[in-house]
Amino acid sequence: MTASLTLPHTPVPALTNGQVNEVIRIMVEEFGLSNQVMMENAGRNLASLTRRLLGGNLSNHRVALVVGAGNCGAAGLAAARFLSNAGAELTLILSRPISDMSQMAVHQQRILARMDVTMHLQADLPPLKILTALRKADLVVDALIGGGLRGGPNGAEAFLIQALRQVGRPVLSLDLPSGLGADGAKPIGPFVRAEATLALALPRLAHVNQSVAPYLGELYLADIGVPTALYQRLGLIVGSIFSAGEIIYLRKR
């Protein structure tokens, strides 16, 4: 039986890691939708939810983003572009140097560099300066790891997760709070406790695991353009879950 959440009259199935990988493969190889398009959609929706959580107007609001080297980080960097355009005062902290980033993350970083958006490498900042910057933020966006965790966090990612826990500022996590596994298993290292989480396309198993729910905060789901016909090929029944908008509300804290 497929785990799911339920909207009024519409089941929302949750995907295993294998199903998520298969969705991405089919989107790219058979439907011709690039990973970069999906990251753009994720980033735009992440910025939109940030705006909503801050009352609808980003002027005079401070937003800090902690960004990883993989696909989650690429979406976070895309979100930073939208947030900058909307007038937010940004603090952008990269967990890894450009040489360690995925191709998609490098692509987004180069766009921000051309926009003269300031980006800080975690290793170049004194820990106290990082903590101070995070404490000043009205909202912190966690785009470190998402559902891409393999083993426990370490190095820069572990430090930034601990920093997020220490500063006590509200956190919006992309995909999953960093440090939580996509299968919902018990964390084996430090993890973020979010006030809100933005899942993408369909929930993962962790999103429907009640033992993990307290760490997710308010749960939202964003449309990143996955065709309904693709889900049908995987035997999943998915209706028009985004009929009310690109971001829907799934569950309270």
Query: Is residue 50 within a helix (H) or strand (E), and if so which, with residue range?
Result: helix 35-53
Evaluate if residue 3 carries a pLDDT over 70.
no
Dihedral of CA 19/20/21/26: which sign?
positive
Q: Which two tokens stand for residue 59?
A: 């002027």
Q: Measured between alpha carbons, how far is 9 from 225 in angstroms, rounded to an integer?
A: 22
Residues 77-116 have pLDDT tens digits of 999 999 999 999 999 999 999 999 999 999 999 999 999 9
Q: What is the mean pLDDT of residues 157-179?
A: 96
Q: Measured between alpha carbons, how far is 39 from 47 in angstroms, rounded to an integer?
A: 12
Are 192 and 163 spatial neighbours (Cβ–Cβ below 8 Å)?
A: no
Place of tokens 């909207």: 7
Residues 211-226 have pLDDT tens digits of 888 999 999 999 999 9
What pLDDT does 103 receive? 94
What pLDDT does 7 receive? 61
Q: What is the mean pLDDT of residues 39-46?
A: 96
DSSP label at 121? E
Using alpha carbons, select from 81, 92, 74 the residue that is nearest to residue 37. Answer: 74
Q: Which two tokens stand for residue 17?
A: 């890691």
**Domains of the chain, earliest start first:** 16-27+35-53+60-251 (3.40.50.10260)
Using pLDDT thresholds of 50, 70 and 90, give the confidence band for residue 1: very low
pTM over 0.85: yes
Are 72 and 142 spatial neighbours (Cβ–Cβ below 8 Å)?
A: no
